[in-house]
Amino acid sequence: MSNQDYTMDQAAQTLKTMFHIERVRNYLSKCIKELLQRQEDHDQSKLVSPEMESFAENTPILAGLTYGQPEYKAALDAMKPGIKLSSESCRFSLSLISV
């Protein structure tokens, strides 16, 4: 069936489908742009004072511990000021994800 053989109903439905496809593309583009911006911004605040000092001191300690274990959580408590600042400047955190 060529485009010329469409009934008015088929043509109308095809047009609606095309609008839907475009709307979905636009929404996905917005999501992608937001993710790309978050990628650029992620953890940049850890590179400036006062977070830089907190993370520089405590990251090597955390590296030797198992995520989620009591010792790891205790080490995070020592980093609370730095983590608080980082969390405020970055809306994404691995602690929000169930692993």
Query: Is residue 96 a part of any domain in this protein?
Result: no
Q: Are residues 37 and 15 in the same domain?
A: yes
Q: Are residues 23 and 57 in the same domain?
A: no
Q: Are residues 13 and 35 in the same domain?
A: yes
| Average pLDDT over every residue of 28-55 | 87
Q: Are residues 25 and 37 in the same domain?
A: yes
Mean pLDDT score across all residues of the chain: 84
For the residues of 71-85, what is the DSSP string, one character each?
HHHHHHHHTHHHHHH
Using the predicted structure, report yes or no on whether residue 4 has a pLDDT greater than 80.
no
Q: Are residues 37 and 56 in the same domain?
A: no
Instruction: Give 36's pLDDT tier (boundaries 50, 70, 90).
Output: very high
Report DSSP state, residue 5.
G
Q: Are residues 37 and 54 in the same domain?
A: no
Query: Is residue 58 a part of any domain in this protein?
Result: yes
Query: Is residue 64 a part of any domain in this protein?
Result: yes
pLDDT at 3: 59
Euclidean distance between CA atoms 77 and 97, whole angstroms? 19
What is the reported pTM? 0.52
Residue with the bigger pLDDT between 50 and 85: it is 50
Using the predicted structure, report yes or no on whether residue 95 has a pLDDT greater than 90.
no
**Domains of the chain: total:** 2
Q: What confidence tens digit (pLDDT) does each residue in 13-22 have?
A: 999 999 999 9
56, 49 Cβ separation under 8 angstroms: no
pLDDT at 83: 74
Domain residues for the domain of 72 are: 44-90
Query: Is residue 57 a part of any domain in this protein?
Result: yes
Q: Whose structure tokens read 């030797």?
A: 64
Q: Are residues 58 and 38 in the same domain?
A: no
